[in-house]
Structure 1
Amino acid sequence: MQPEPLFPVSLKLKGRTCLILGGGPIALAKLTPLLDTGAQIRVIDPAPLPGVTDLAKAGRIALEAGPLAPHHCDGITLAIDSGEYADGTALLRREADKRNILLNSVDQPDACDYFTPAVVRRGPIQVAISTGGAAPALARTLRQMLDRLMPASLGDLAQKAADMRAHVQATMSPARQKSFWNTLFSMSAIRSLATSRADTLIEQAMTAAPPAGHVTLVGAGAGAADMITLRGLRALEEADVILHDALLDPALLRHARRDARIMAVGKRCGKHSTTQDFINKTLENFARQGKQVVRLKCGDPFIFGRGGEELFHLQEADIPVTVIPGVTAASVAAAEYGFPLTHRGVARRTTFMTAATNKSLPADKANWDALLQGGTIVLYMAKAGLEATLAAMRDAGINSTMPIAVVSDAGRTTSDRKAGSLGSFLASPPELGDAPALVAIGEAVGLAANAVAEYKDDLQRYYR
């Protein structure tokens, strides 16, 4: 059953009346955070705890030490049923429905109009975690985790920023304001709060020169979003502009800033949605505007990702550029299906090749015999001309029992592997579908623990 969609809000309750049915420990825990909002709190319970009566004596709440009556619901904005005074539950529900009062019933999610989240507070900052009543204990655990992650002085920084907002607006241009706030609240600045005071960060942001434009070529890794490195993720989180590949896991873009400009510039099987020249010039142009630009590429930028072309173009244009490597598809496929690319006594090198080459290049006449002697070959973009490539290996004298693995959609939940041998694939070529695929060839490939059984007996050392 799908959970009912909820709309998260931060509600101003100052001067509004909230009713709490019950005066036991649960009610006391629920009303305590309400005290800080400036709400007028009305508690109904014939036998309240001393802690509740103490709040009433101090004038912080209005206490009705008797049964719930309909007039108690007059003028109520929110109501909470603690479950500690069951005699009033049915009446409160009826009155809430009649008067359009939002009601929260503790430990009764189906009877709730809203849920009170677990909250992490740092001054004016409130981070609320809700599971929609599904797992309140999980929300508390997540609150504890966030509480450890958020610097204690974060609230101080937020309050000082609020106090100086009018001054920033009056003294800085819109572009300078954006640069100032982005610098002050950058990931690196927030991390430094563990050792720096808020005043120091503000002074540094005030005096910092507007950031120069910069391009970062980021390898997102192959397959799922969590294959990206921590360094790559930080660059993504701080980018003003992101140009990404077509095959990228869309979940990765959720880490981008909400105001970041995101452009899809992918290319699939030579069918260009944008030309490489356009990509190069777009990176350059955004950097010249002072933007922090991320070119987010599947796998590794420098392994059949045309990252070199982008790097050299930017260097020639005197644009600062950084490269963050990514986990290439060959490594992901090997890890996923348990075949090593190198293995002591079997394979001491790995050759990455592409089956799809630019027509301007000379014909690639690979020395298959030499490459496979003590080595592993991985063919990227392998669907084009795979049968011709395998036939060339056969014609070069490669043993028909040479192990081969064809992996499509490496790193994704839709990943698939077809294991076989040179002879078996020549006799019955694998159906590869539309997903991107690579082909791994070599004795080390046959060492996979889950290799297809019918080919295991054929695996042997071919070159001694």
Structure 2
Amino acid sequence: MNQLFPIFVKLDQIQTLLVGGGKVALEKFQALITNDERLNLTVVAREIVPEFEILLRNYPHIQLHIRPFETTDIEHKQLVIAATNNMELNDELRALTSLHNILFNAADKPDLCDFYLGSIVTKGNLKVAISTNGKSPTIAKRVKELLNDLLPAEIDETLSLMSEYREQLKGDFEFKVKKLNEHTKNILRHER
């Protein structure tokens, strides 16, 4: 049973630590930066692949420390992502984050994770997160491709119009919800 509770995090309002500098760390970084270029991120890695280091130069606000992880690196962090193939380090990070009530993700180690990084579909202001409960990132990627193709490019324009309409509505919350539901009930229906 999938008991995950999806949330959308404002990455510019929290402190995130990414431990690792290899291709998997680069992939995690790209997922983060694609969602918010203003994110507060610190990267700590013994060594870093050249393409990751070159990419980081485009984001001078991101802190990069090429050295081994130190326990003080988790201070003032709310999210920690481990992208290492060092199981001892991943276990140490899991223990430290648990002790300090910090949410933790370890790449390709669902049993260690508090949260997963899902596949994301973005069409302007619409963002859809896809999770397979850690079972198959490949299936999540395929669902992402499907939704990217299915969602119309005009959806962002529709969102803007709905926002304007919502602002014009007078009445209590229940009235507004009823009106918005009536107005949008056929918005994504396709003729069969």
Partner of 1:114: 115
2-side partners of 1:65 and 1:82: how far apart?
Answer: 14
Partner of 1:186: 185
Say whether the 8 Å CA contact 1:22–1:85 is kept in structure 2.
no
Partner of 1:14: 12
Say whether the 8 Å CA contact 1:55–1:61 is kept in structure 2.
no
C-alpha deviations, 1:64-115, integer Å up to 9, x for none? 1000000000011111111245563232122111111111111111111111
2-side partners of 1:77 and 1:92: how far apart?
Answer: 13
2-side partners of 1:143 and 1:117: how far apart?
Answer: 10
Distance 1:51 1:160, change over 3 A: farther
Say whether the 8 Å CA contact 1:23–1:84 is kept in structure 2.
no
1-side partners of 2:47 and 2:123: how far apart?
Answer: 35
**Quick one: which amino acid aligns to residue 15 of structure 1?**
Q
Does residue 81 (structure 1) correspond to residue 82 (structure 2)? The answer is: yes
C-alpha deviations, 1:353-409, integer Å up to 9, x for none? xxxxxxxxxxxxxxxxxxxxxxxxxxxxxxxxxxxxxxxxxxxxxxxxxxxxxxxxx
Say whether the 8 Å CA contact 2:83–2:107 is kept in structure 1.
yes
1-side partners of 2:62 and 2:25: how far apart?
Answer: 12
Q: What is the aligned-residue identity percentage?
A: 27
**Quick one: which amino acid aligns to residue 31 of structure 2?**
P
Once the two structures are overlaid, the 10-residue window that deviates more, 4-13 or 125-134, is 4-13
**Quick one: which amino acid aligns to residue 186 of structure 1?**
K
C-alpha deviations, 1:127-174, integer Å up to 9, x for none? 1111111122111111111111111121232134335532x1259xx8
C-alpha deviations, 1:285-338, integer Å up to 9, x for none? xxxxxxxxxxxxxxxxxxxxxxxxxxxxxxxxxxxxxxxxxxxxxxxxxxxxxx
Say whether the 8 Å CA contact 1:45–1:85 is kept in structure 2.
no
How far 1:14 moved relative to its partner?
2.1
Distance 1:101 1:160, change over 3 A: same
Secondary structure, aligned partner of 2:169: helix
Secondary structure, aligned partner of 2:6: coil
**Quick one: which amino acid aligns to residue 124 of structure 1?**
N
C-alpha deviations, 1:219-273, integer Å up to 9, x for none? xxxxxxxxxxx87xxxxxxxxxxxxxxxxxxxxxxxxxxxxxxxxxxxxxxxxxx
How far 1:178 moved relative to its partner?
4.2
2-side partners of 1:88 and 1:149: how far apart?
Answer: 41
Unaligned stretches of 5+ in structure 1? 193-229, 232-464
C-alpha deviations, 1:24-81, integer Å up to 9, x for none? 2221221223223332111111211233323443414111100000000001111111
Partner of 2:41: 41
Secondary structure, aligned partner of 2:122: strand
RMSD across aligned positions (CA): 2.7
Distance 1:56 1:142, change over 3 A: closer
Unaligned stretches of 5+ in structure 2? none
2-side partners of 1:177 and 1:103: how far apart?
Answer: 36
Say whether the 8 Å CA contact 1:46–1:65 is kept in structure 2.
yes
Say whether the 8 Å CA contact 1:19–1:76 is kept in structure 2.
yes
Secondary structure, aligned partner of 1:76: coil
Say whether the 8 Å CA contact 2:124–2:156 is kept in structure 1.
yes
Distance 1:115 1:178, change over 3 A: same
How far 1:6 moved relative to its partner?
1.9
Comparing both chains, which one has the higher relative contact order based on Cα–Cα distances under 8 Å and sequence gaps of 6 or more?
2
Partner of 1:5: 3
1-side partners of 2:78 and 2:15: how far apart?
Answer: 6
**Quick one: which amino acid aligns to residue 47 of structure 2?**
A
2-side partners of 1:99 and 1:175: how far apart?
Answer: 43
2-side partners of 1:90 and 1:43: how far apart?
Answer: 18
Alignment of 1:171-182 (within 5 A): 178-179=178-179, 182=182
2-side partners of 1:67 and 1:87: how far apart?
Answer: 13
Distance 1:41 1:179, change over 3 A: same
Distance 1:25 1:176, change over 3 A: closer
**Quick one: which amino acid aligns to residue 81 of structure 1?**
A
2-side partners of 1:125 and 1:160: how far apart?
Answer: 13
Partner of 2:29: 31
Say whether the 8 Å CA contact 1:77–1:102 is kept in structure 2.
yes
